[in-house]
Structure 1
Amino acid sequence: MLKNGSINYDLFIQKAMRQAIRDLLRYASEKGIPENHYFYIEFLTHFPGVSLPENVREEYPQDMMICLQYEFWDLKAEDDAFSVTLIFDDEEYNIVVPYASILKFSDPSVDFGIEFSTDDIALDAEHLQALMDELDEENKIKVEDSDKPLDNVVSFSAFKKDHD
């Protein structure tokens, strides 16, 4: 989360806003969207992890907006993405949208909205890859170190009394 040796505040804010979207969608998936509310979500259709029917992706090669108001089912908000069933061309399809692909999220009923620039999304994609690489490296170190004896662990087996 550092950029050129300094704290990248923008990245922290972007992450917090995406977590807020995730939490709102989790709330909606568990309790439903309150009667007067509805969500518009615009996202990049070509972003890694986006799952759409091919005909929809062809119709919207860059981005698309969906509305969660009346005709949606099976909304699930996972840690990194949400999925929902919508109707496209009179057929139901389940789509998957990573939070990092979202350009805009709004609830016009209360004049609430969050907007991300494509630069922010590129930062998220880069940060995600860097974080994954960092975690892989940490796990590699833990595995390599697991074969070393631990000098700071006391074995209690020497102090056990035999109960034979």
Structure 2
Amino acid sequence: MSDDLPDSLIPYDEIVQEALRAVVGRVLGEVERSGGLPGGHHFYITFKTHAAGVEIPKSLTERFPDEMTIVLQNKYWDLKVGAQAFEVSLTFNQVPAHLNIPFAAITAFVDPAVNFALQFQVQDAGDGPEPHEAENDAPLASSEDGSNVVTVDFGKKK
């Protein structure tokens, strides 16, 4: 048998990414249905600001030209979750803003209350700018060894 495996004709990486993004949708849907976050749960959601379907105010796109992270904790409203995207209203520098974010635009989802995180592959990943945190955000939680961070990387075996 050879150590060189053939390239898969089944897009496993895309299938897994879609399934993991569905986790985000299900969690946000539960929050929407229950009317709020249970216990100490809160979410850091990082997304590509120029991804297809992202609708955010122009001022935010200018401040965060590649990625931004929002926090859903105390000051958010109008959370609506659909099959492909979610909408939420937040304030930035005390100015309200409505955001529409497709799940496909999300690059990270973190619930630091339970040390849970999902990181997603980005199709247009490159040497672009670092993600920015929006004014309403606390710093991103860093994961220590043993955390519940799930990353999926289907690189070709060399």
Task: Give TM-score, length-normalised by structure 2.
Answer: 0.71
Distance 2:57 2:48 in 1: 14
Identity level (%): 37
Question: Tell me, what secondary structure is at the counterpart of 2:37?
Answer: coil
Distance 1:78 1:108 in 2: 24
1:45 paired to 2:55: no
Distance 2:102 2:123 in 1: 16
Contact 1:14–1:120 at 8 Å: present in 2 too? no
Q: Mark the CA change 1:76 to 1:6 in structure 2 (over 3 Å): closer, same or farther.
A: same
Gaps of 5+ in 2: 1-6, 126-158
In the other structure, the counterpart of 1:9 is: 12
What's the CA shift string for 1:23-67, capped at 9, x where partnerless? 000001111211210000000001111111111110001000000
**What letter matches 1:79 in structure 2?**
A
2:30 to 27, 30, 35: 27
What's the CA shift string for 1:2-38, capped at 9, x where partnerless? xx77212111111110111100000011112112100
Distance 1:23 1:66 in 2: 18
More helix per residue: 1
How do 1:43-82 residues align onto structure 2 when only pairs under 5 Å count? 43-82=47-86
CA RMSD of aligned residues (A): 1.6
Distance 1:119 1:51 in 2: 19
Distance 1:106 1:120 in 2: 21
Question: Tell me, what secondary structure is at the counterpart of 1:118?
Answer: coil
Distance 2:29 2:21 in 1: 12
In the other structure, the counterpart of 1:143 is: none
Q: Which runs of 4+ in 1 moved over 3 A?
A: none
Residues paired across the two proteins, number: 118
Task: Give TM-score, length-normalised by structure 1.
Answer: 0.68
- Find the structure with the greater CA-based Rg: 1
**What letter matches 2:28 in structure 1?**
L
How do 1:1-164 residues align onto structure 2 when only pairs under 5 Å count? 6-31=9-34, 32-119=36-123
Displacement of 1:119 in angstroms is 2.9
Q: Mark the CA change 1:65 to 1:81 in structure 2 (over 3 Å): closer, same or farther.
A: same
Question: Tell me, what secondary structure is at the counterpart of 2:79?
Answer: strand
Gaps of 5+ in 1: 122-164
In the other structure, the counterpart of 2:146 is: none
Question: Tell me, what secondary structure is at the counterpart of 1:110?
Answer: coil
Question: Tell me, what secondary structure is at the counterpart of 1:50?
Answer: coil
Contact 2:54–2:101 at 8 Å: present in 1 too? yes
Distance 2:109 2:8 in 1: 31
